[in-house]
Amino acid sequence: MKKIFTVSILAVTVLACKKTDFKTKTVSAGSANFTTFVSVGNSLTQGYMDAGVYEYGQDNSYPNTLAKQMKLALPSMNYVQAMTIGNGSGHMHLAYVNGQLDPITATDSSHTNPTGPDPSWTNWGANYQGTLVNNMGISGIRLTDCVAIPSASLPSLYQAKQVNWVVMDQNPYARFMKIGTLAAPVQYIDNIRASKATFFTCWLGDNDVLGYALSGGVSSTPYNHITIDNITPPDVFAQKYDSILTAFSNMGAQGVCMTIPNVTSIPYFNTVPTHILVNGVKQYFYITQWDGTVRLATDKDYILLPAYDSISQGEGTSMARAIPNNQVLDSVEADSVLSATIQYNNAIYSLAKQFNFAVVDINAILKQFQVSYTIDGISFSRTFIQGGMFGLDGIHPNARGYAVVANYIIDEINTKYGSSLPDVDITKFKGIIFPNF
């Protein structure tokens, strides 16, 4: 993504702030039982950062940060993540290219790439088979992949399990997880049931709508009977979320659920403008909408971050060079995303209340970062790279962003369970790492 800093960014006004209370206090678990803390979720739970799973990102995952604070109340607690080595899968980094800052991908071979995949990545995860892994976050996993339920296209439970097994088997970020075999598939929820969790966090569900949004609403079907880029129907989402919480409830676990953020609130969807200004007049780009129709963009459309380079080369300036649908989340598609997200979150709140679990409203929290929001003297926003909250992929938080998430969860745990876990000092966590010139 060349010359990304040439994108004009409007200044925003600080509208709100938050200050952490670091007064010395006795650390207590309250009524919470942290003996076996289990985290379920996707890339946000695994510590995915800068478009990869790597050691630094995992060290700063919000569950790992939470576990450290829990250990202050219960020193005997043990928390295991399936850790990668060094660069892991590879990740993005910032570099100066021809005098300009440029986000470099892990697969960029145009020069020596210090953040390409680690040699150990091809065999990563196998050494964790047979052990309890407390962090069950798997990048790319959807809630619908976690629980097999028969459907019209998959009339038997066995068929539904097989389809989910194929998805897990093809996911390199899931190599640490017990999945069985195609003939005897082990579900994600089976791993939850075997965990003997006493406390959990659940941040499943983002990918049930995010995959659709990231693809610009263009679906693909690489696996039999399953379209990984479709929006999971809200009734199916609710049924499967109920199954996850039932599994924890049956173990007597306590826990916290997180809502699904509106994906259009993150930099991936808000960095590339839908227009440019020519003599003070908005000149909108031509886009291809969901049905193949070419039209001028509006302020209700979202041009995706990867479209930046092609726009810089003239794409979008005429009907013949319209931005393709897979690089645009048009207004109709965006409405579908918002509708599903609202219904998902209604289900999360309703089910969490039913099982007496706490809820952290990540959706509401991220809305605060649509303008500049100050925490402990540090300003955050959704601005790409400079915003301080998100990493180089424009989707996932950086280390400091994950620490912010951890603190919101800690606050909810303390409120719900009467504990006194201390917040972490976010100033000790790094944002995006800039290179020396």
- Asked whether residue 409 carries a pLDDT value surpassing 50, the answer given is yes
- Asked whether residue 138 carries a pLDDT value surpassing 60, the answer given is yes
Q: What is the mean pLDDT of residues 245-256?
A: 98
Tally of structural domains, the chain: 1
- Asked whether residue 380 carries a pLDDT value surpassing 70, the answer given is yes
Does residue 294 fall inside a structural domain?
Answer: no
Q: What is the mean pLDDT of residues 123-138?
A: 92
pLDDT at 110: 80
pLDDT at 165: 95
Each residue of 51-85: pLDDT tens digit? 999 999 999 999 999 999 999 999 999 999 999 99
> Percentage of the chain surpassing pLDDT 90?
76
Can you list the positions of beta strands (E) in 183-335?
A: 199-203, 254-258, 275-278, 281-284, 286-288, 294-296, 302-303, 328-329
Does residue 389 fall inside a structural domain?
Answer: yes
Residue 379 has what DSSP assignment? E
- Helix (H) or strand (E) segment spanning residue 208: helix 207-214
- Asked whether residue 2 carries a pLDDT value surpassing 60, the answer given is no
Each residue of 232-241: pLDDT tens digit? 999 999 999 9
Each residue of 197-223: pLDDT tens digit? 999 999 999 999 999 999 999 865 443
Sign of CA dihedral 360, 366, 371, 375: positive
Does residue 319 fall inside a structural domain?
Answer: no
- Asked whether residue 9 carries a pLDDT value surpassing 80, the answer given is no
Does residue 115 fall inside a structural domain?
Answer: yes
CA 78 to chain centre: 25
- Asked whether residue 10 carries a pLDDT value surpassing 50, the answer given is no
Say which residue the tokens 């207590």 belong to: 28
> Percentage of the chain surpassing pLDDT 70?
92
Does residue 128 fall inside a structural domain?
Answer: yes
Does residue 285 fall inside a structural domain?
Answer: no
pLDDT at 27: 96
Does residue 225 fall inside a structural domain?
Answer: yes
In this structure, are residues 251 and 197 in contact, taking their beta carbons and an 8 Å threshold?
A: yes
Residue 420 sits in a domain whose CATH number is 3.40.50.1110
Domain interval for residue 382:
17-270+330-428
Does residue 7 fall inside a structural domain?
Answer: no
- Asked whether residue 14 carries a pLDDT value surpassing 80, the answer given is no
Q: What is the mean pLDDT of residues 281-293?
A: 94
**Stretch among 107-111, 170-174, 299-303, 400-404 having the lowest mean pLDDT:** 107-111
List the structure tokens of 247.
Answer: 């599994």
pLDDT at 21: 65
Closest CA to 91 of 173, 158, 10, 167: 173
Say which residue the tokens 């649509």 belong to: 370
**pTM of model > 0.75:** yes
